[in-house]
Structure 1
Amino acid sequence: MQSTQRIFVLLFSVILLASCERNTPVSDNDVSEAPPATNSAVAQPPVNLAKTAIEDEAGKTEPEFVGAEACATCHQVEFDRWRDSHHDLAMQVASDRTVLGDFDNAQVDYFGTTSRFFTKDDRFFVRTDGPDGKLHDYPIAYTFGVHPLQQYLVEFPGGRLQALSLAWDSRDKAQGGQRWFHLNPDEHIRAGDELHWTGLNYNWNFMCADCHSTNLQKGFDLASQTYDTSWSEMDVGCEACHGPGSKHVTWANSSADVPSKEIANRGFPVSYSERKSASWAMDHDNGIARLAAKAETQAELETCAQCHSRRATAFPGAKAGDELLDHFNLSLLDAGLYHADGQIDDEVFVYGSFLQSKMHAAGVTCSNCHDPHSLELRVEGNGVCAQCHMPARFDTAEHHFHPPDSAGSQCVSCHMPAKTYMQVDARRDHSFRIPRPDLSDRLQAPNACTGCHSDKPNQWAADVLEQKFGKPLDPHFGEAIYAGRHGLPGAEGKLMALVADDSQPVIVRATAVSLLPRYLSQQSAQLLQVIAQGDEKLLNLGLAKSLEVAPEQIQAALAIPLLYEGKQVTEALAANALINTPVERLPEQVRARFNDAVSAYLASEKFNSDRPESLSNIAAVHARKENYEQAEAFYRRALSIAPYFTPAYVNLADIYRTTGREKEAEELLAGALTKVSNDAPIQYSLGLSLVRQQRNDEALEHLKQAAQSESTSARFIYVYAIGQHSAGKTSAALETLERGLERFPHDPQILSALVSLNREAGNPEKAEQYQRRLQTSAGIQ
């Protein structure tokens, strides 16, 4: 399961719709019919598919999945390493052999609810609160994971499997383990909450399944709202990494060597053999090994990244060796997931971190450090780093400042600091970074030094490192990312320089691309045009993700080249950004390409229509086509499965506004206030609805609530202040703007309003002061 912080699980952007245009070049047949709001299906356990035969478009039979036992016949050593690995134990049928938790009538109290774990008739049960808030007995169907915690899956109607939020700490007792614990210990999660174990965010079929089983087919049916989820193997078997093995078995059983042109890669879709031939030579000048000659070492990386990355499955069916962006919408270094300097914040599963590293740039890959079958480190402790980093130079107190064999002397303590998720699961940052305490205060990011020496300030650590290694020479990319996130002066120029600097990691540059449309000028627009016409896939993804915030007049110029990018995810995102473009404005060839990409976008959203995000995205397409009944039905469906989902309320209220049903919009938003965890967007939208109804005093109170919320935005503060000014409360409006400027010190709307209102109030000196700040923030000297 992913991190269970109180956040919306947003897998695709859901925009706030302001207007709709006609002539959208999408046929009605491309958009799913509105689904029913309820279902009464009976639970069906996932099916074990011994083999899965697929025919391609030419009618040729694709390779079949044959199972790990078939591999053991010839590959016993590798099979034995894999057996009992975390991949092998990723998911198992609950039994005396697989269940690690205490089911001997163990009890756990959680905010007054007492859950009990017990056995009956040789089965494992939990008595805990269900979706109605009452206690029920639930049989445990499967175990999920093994160490440092084990979760348990319960079958529900409609083919759903739900992961309990009570988990077993499988660490040794000396480490604090061998106990039951709740994944949200500090907040009372009740039935109906978005983080209750019976809800969407603990649903195995969507959240967890495709990375814990082999050849997982989610099998969600939009019409019945049920799952028919299936797999080839319950765990992560050989074919999860090597691809379906039937053609390899055919090759292995052939009496003569089958020509490679008939069966390439010995029957597998991908080969990792070139990595084995790579040779590394130690550079004695700097003590670091380098590839002695060019070699393909990265083939395995994108296969690993299919699961070991923060991403959303956009198009199912990924197999070993497939291009990542043909199937997955990869997260970049986004706020909330990564700190501005690229350090891990939320649980991001390695790949995005590793792409930032000098190890990746040098040709290192996952299996240089980890045995791909057992998953264990190839060498324990500092020995794994000593494969490439000369111990006499780096594994010394002179380098790491700590006594030998102490925690501080371990390479990972400084270069791979860990963060703990799910209460007990410590994950190490795989960006292998040099600690930069000199950046921590400026970028609000942690550092490994004061992470351990918590009694010391960041400046102390920065001084120690500078005294030993000298002052850092180059500016860090985190400064540009931080400026872009927070609208600091010069953000556009810093982001442009970062995008153009091909010595920086490509995921860093892609993140800068995704931020740049917020600050678009003629120069940065030209740079993005170059990116759109280039062939760097991650930069193109970053641009596609941000097209909706680009000015409408240049969206087509940026999006149309991306329709030919060659990666299905990027093309679909680009098509969505163009969906309002009237069809007659597009050349015929582009129109055909666009329609294909829109169809792919809709297919992706339908695949994920078990989530409110995707239902809302489908609704948005209908709304843009002015199919308002269909749009309303999809928004209603989203709210029926996720009553806390704020964007659906706001967007549905906008449809009511567009269709002249302002009173219904008001009623919808008023009812939402008690259902969402973050009500600031609801308060804001409700305030605007009341303004349109000329109930300005009531509107001002709701706008105030939005502006004073902890999760407010600069826009909410600005609109509230303008409302105060319109009500004749100019002094109060100035106070609101000045407090807002403390939170958003470079926001152009707040600064502009302070200029105008101070001039109007007869404060020319203050107006001039804010005018200078506005010009500085805009980069005008």
Structure 2
Amino acid sequence: MRQKNNNKQDPTVSPPHWRLILPALLILAAAGIWWLTRAEPNTSTLDTSVATRSQPSAPTPAAEVSPSPVSTLSTGPEYVGRQTCASCHAEQSEQFNGSHHDQAMQEANAQTVLGDFADQTFNFGGVTSRFFQREEQFWVNTANAEGEYSDYRVDYTFGVYPLQQYLLAMPGGRYQAFSVAWDARPAEEGGQRWFQLNPDVNGDDPVKALHWTGRQFNWNLMCAECHSTNLERNFDSVSNSYNTGWSEIDVSCEACHGPASNHLQWATHPDSHPEMADTLGLTVRFDERQGVNWLPNASGHPERTVPRTSEKEIQACAACHSRRAQLFDDRQDAGLLVENYLLSTLDQGLYHPDGQIQDEVFVHGSFLQSKMYQAGVTCSDCHNPHSLELRLPGDGVCLQCHQANQYQTPKHHFHSTAAGSACVDCHMPATTYMEVDPRRDHSLRVPRPDLSVTLAPPNACNQCHTDQSAEWAAEHVQQWYGHTPQGLQQYAEVFAHARAGASGAEQGLLELLANESQPAIARATAASMLQSWPGPEVAQSLFVALRAEDPQIRLGALQAVSSYPPITRWQLVSHLLEAPERVVRLQAAAQLLDIPPEQMRGDDIKRLRDAQDAYLAAQQANADDTSAQLNIGVFYQTRGQLALAEDAYQRAIELDPYFIAAYVNLADLYRASFRDPDAERLLKTGLQQLPEAAPLHFSLGLLNVRNKQMDQALSALRQAVMLDPDTSRYRYVLAVGLNSTGQRAEALAELEEGLQRNPHSQTLLTLRQQLQSGQP
């Protein structure tokens, strides 16, 4: 897939992220899924002194619309609004005013709109967009995916700095985040201009899946949850429309602390509510830093005076500041990550093999890799949680704990000038997303230019010294220290070899999984990657990992068990159906979907049926999410309820005609039902929408092989390899097909090219050896 790193992560501005696909038991594992994420919010505040919800109504592009109140859910504590909070917490409210959370999303008006709407035009990809005003409203004239021009009203601003996006009103209660954004930086920094957020996938690019009118830029599904407080999507599947609403338009007090009505009761009459003494009536009380100081220990290293015993604060922040999948659509106060979302591991395409950020991953997954996290640091040690500013500017935030005479000196950083010697320059290198927004890697790692030489991830040294090579940087580091500093993160080679499918790579993964000194997210990644090496030794390690205290490691191990037969899976994961975290319970159920409850005995029948029913209910609650429809289809297909499965896959395609996984699974359902002509028609329809989708070409090639249409099969397989030359499986199947038609030399040539890209691929090495030895 041709995708630019154009997501963003900070409370400043957020574009649409791509929503993550819940890992389901995909029927055709050979076909890849495009992993898409979700975005986060930015806002200005509404007067919410009363506990009502606001919602954008369902406009046509040119219709007049204003937020209308909807009654709040009455179950549990209620939302009271920031103005109520500010009556007692004036200092925190003042810090919040004007913050990026405060400006995450705002009604579009002369005060909030930063872009130039004075009849300005912007040309890109053959499309001319015009920005203008009409009757004090802001409008954009631009083309839809079919090239037809219309006027679209700007109802809301999204974010504030370093860029601002605009939400355009569409039919069905939908709002789309326009992909031409305003560069809010000063002119001398290249700002104060219109620019295209994703220039490599819009305009005349055939990947219309990422056109601004598509689902990936849909505010309701992709962005809204993290940009407003107490958001409800309110999707109606019958009318295929939204009635999305919120308590407050921005990321306000109760987005983090939860609904505050019980807190008000406690504050008014604390003696009357002894049951609230510990929580103060708050859904989440952030008391982890009370009495905490950082003091040097006997070795001179900073140490927390009170151990961190919970992760309430980190989890609450991570609910939006992470690359994750939302699994549940019910209201979860303060959105704790472990209860509601599935965190991405250090997957290829998201992170470099050493764990550095590659695609936009929204901080949390990086921070979990850091020595700071292991030492007990929390978000608010560095950031003011209300203003979002650093607690001290520049190196000052680090020198809160680290002694200046030890670290702010050339003896530590080996630079004679201030340029390049700031703590963040070496330990938090930045990657620019959304064209203008540099985001810093929060894994706080030791620079490793030596790994750039051997494995090609980036390094902090060459980010400044762009005119020098990684070898040059590695030599200097070696000269400075007399050795190569390793740092905490010890898994670059393990992941690089495993990603390449190298022989023996599973041993490195097993060792990493067992290494308790390494970050849990890395160990969870190792567990998930063991899916490719099923066997008794791996199963033993997974048995232990599935009983780990850290839910991340259990979730990683759950991804790996899908390679085992049903009875083994039941033995490995059935105990997690009663796990304390509902995300773990749901993922355990996902691994047991193909086990009929009637085949179980006694209490296990009810346990399994209840788990499977809960899994299906969670998917149905997210009916507007194509990945949920995919999971529903898998659910029914595993039960042989093919009509229901077909309907779910078709719904997924109707929701998003560019959703590759739905085409692949539905085509496989047709194939399994001896409906090969339907499968071929479907795949060709998908290729009309997505001509560069390698998985669809690959699936069509496999179908043609099944039907003994080898010329068409080889053509489709070649196309898959051309579009995705790094996927060894595509090249492997093409080589097998070439050899089966008497083209052994061509097959060997394909294998050689594949091994140049993936020199450790055991499947390619084994096939090459077989063909070279003359085996059929």
User: What is aligned with 2:231?
Assistant: 216
Output the CA distance in 1 between the equivalents of 2:327 and 2:19: 15
User: What is aligned with 1:522?
Assistant: 536
Aligned in 2, Cα 1:237/1:41: closer, same or farther, shift over 3 Å?
closer
Residues 164 and 202 in structure 1, CA contact (< 8 A), matched pair in contact too = yes
Farther-moved stretch of structure 1 (685-694 vs 184-193):
184-193
**Distance apart, 1:520 and its partner CA:** 2.7
User: What is aligned with 1:309?
Assistant: 322
Farther-moved stretch of structure 1 (92-101 vs 684-693):
684-693
The secondary structure found in structure 2 opposite 1:525 is: helix
**Distance apart, 1:674 and its partner CA:** 2.5
Aligned in 2, Cα 1:6/1:227: closer, same or farther, shift over 3 Å?
closer
User: What is aligned with 1:182?
Assistant: 196
Match of 1:421 among 433, 436, 439: 433
Aligned in 2, Cα 1:761/1:325: closer, same or farther, shift over 3 Å?
closer
Give the number of equivalent residue pairs.
Answer: 733
Match of 2:709 among 692, 695, 702: 695
User: What is aligned with 1:467?
Assistant: 479
User: What is aligned with 2:390?
Assistant: 377
User: What is aligned with 1:433?
Assistant: 445
Gapped regions of structure 2 (runs ≥ 5): 1-5, 9-13, 30-56
1:547 aligns with 2:568: no
Match of 1:588 among 589, 593, 602: 602
TM-score (norm 2): 0.89
Residues 435 and 447 in structure 1, CA contact (< 8 A), matched pair in contact too = yes
**Distance apart, 1:612 and its partner CA:** 2.5
The secondary structure found in structure 1 opposite 2:623 is: coil
Question: Following superposition of structure 1 onto structure 2, how do residues 565-714 of structure 1 map, counting pairs within 5 Å?
Answer: 565-711=579-725, 713-714=727-728
Farther-moved stretch of structure 1 (706-715 vs 452-461):
706-715
Residues 432 and 438 in structure 2, CA contact (< 8 A), matched pair in contact too = yes
1:279 aligns with 2:293: yes
User: What is aligned with 1:451?
Assistant: 463
Q: Deviations over 1:629-667 (max 9, x none)?
A: 222222222222322222222221212212221122222
Farther-moved stretch of structure 1 (128-137 vs 451-460):
128-137
Aligned in 2, Cα 1:321/1:111: closer, same or farther, shift over 3 Å?
closer
Output the CA distance in 2 between the equivalents of 1:295 and 1:17: 43
Output the CA distance in 2 between the equivalents of 1:155 and 1:729: 56
> Kindly, what percent of the aligned residue pairs are identical?
43
Aligned in 2, Cα 1:396/1:355: closer, same or farther, shift over 3 Å?
same
Output the CA distance in 2 between the equivalents of 1:545 and 1:47: 42
Output the CA distance in 2 between the equivalents of 1:210 and 1:322: 10
Output the CA distance in 1 between the equivalents of 2:763 and 2:656: 33
Aligned in 2, Cα 1:468/1:155: closer, same or farther, shift over 3 Å?
same
User: What is aligned with 1:772?
Assistant: none
Aligned in 2, Cα 1:262/1:688: closer, same or farther, shift over 3 Å?
closer
Match of 2:21 among 11, 15, 36: 11
1:242 aligns with 2:254: no
User: What is aligned with 2:41?
Assistant: none
The secondary structure found in structure 2 opposite 1:181 is: strand
Question: Following superposition of structure 1 onto structure 2, how do residues 126-275 of structure 1 map, counting pairs within 5 Å?
Answer: 126-189=140-203, 193-254=208-269, 257-262=271-276, 264-275=278-289
**Distance apart, 1:263 and its partner CA:** 5.4
Q: Deviations over 1:515-547 (max 9, x none)?
A: 122123322210101111333211011122333
Residue identity in the other structure for 1:2: N
Output the CA distance in 2 between the equivalents of 1:688 and 1:192: 23
Aligned in 2, Cα 1:378/1:7: closer, same or farther, shift over 3 Å?
closer
The secondary structure found in structure 2 opposite 1:332 is: coil
Q: Deviations over 1:159-209 (max 9, x none)?
A: 111101011111111111111111123454359811111110100111111
**Distance apart, 1:756 and its partner CA:** 2.8
User: What is aligned with 1:364?
Assistant: 377
Residue identity in the other structure for 2:481: F
The secondary structure found in structure 1 opposite 2:210 is: coil
Aligned in 2, Cα 1:455/1:72: closer, same or farther, shift over 3 Å?
same
The secondary structure found in structure 2 opposite 1:273 is: coil
Output the CA distance in 2 between the equivalents of 1:14 and 1:227: 26
Output the CA distance in 2 between the equivalents of 1:9 and 1:297: 28
TM-score (norm 1): 0.89
Output the CA distance in 2 between the equivalents of 1:276 and 1:657: 61
Residues 438 and 459 in structure 1, CA contact (< 8 A), matched pair in contact too = yes
Residues 477 and 484 in structure 2, CA contact (< 8 A), matched pair in contact too = no
**Distance apart, 1:284 and its partner CA:** 6.6
Output the CA distance in 2 between the equivalents of 1:17 and 1:645: 15
**Distance apart, 1:761 and its partner CA:** 6.4
1:333 aligns with 2:346: yes
Q: Deviations over 1:387-415 (max 9, x none)?
A: 00101111112222224432x12111111
Output the CA distance in 2 between the equivalents of 1:455 and 1:238: 47
Residues 644 and 677 in structure 1, CA contact (< 8 A), matched pair in contact too = no
Match of 2:738 among 724, 735, 738: 724
Residues 312 and 336 in structure 2, CA contact (< 8 A), matched pair in contact too = no
1:354 aligns with 2:367: yes
The secondary structure found in structure 2 opposite 1:275 is: coil
**Distance apart, 1:468 and its partner CA:** 1.9
Cα RMSD (Å): 2.6
Output the CA distance in 1 between the equivalents of 2:59 and 2:160: 29
Residues 51 and 232 in structure 1, CA contact (< 8 A), matched pair in contact too = no
Residues 47 and 229 in structure 1, CA contact (< 8 A), matched pair in contact too = no
Farther-moved stretch of structure 1 (643-652 vs 101-110):
643-652
User: What is aligned with 1:52?
Assistant: 72
Aligned in 2, Cα 1:370/1:51: closer, same or farther, shift over 3 Å?
farther
Aligned in 2, Cα 1:81/1:10: closer, same or farther, shift over 3 Å?
closer
**Distance apart, 1:711 and its partner CA:** 4.3
Residue identity in the other structure for 1:213: S
Output the CA distance in 2 between the equivalents of 1:8 and 1:752: 37
User: What is aligned with 1:29?
Assistant: none
Residue identity in the other structure for 1:113: V
Q: Deviations over 1:594-626 (max 9, x none)?
A: 223222322232233323222222112222222
User: What is aligned with 1:83?
Assistant: 97
Gapped regions of structure 1 (runs ≥ 5): 20-39, 56-61, 763-781
**Distance apart, 1:736 and its partner CA:** 2.7
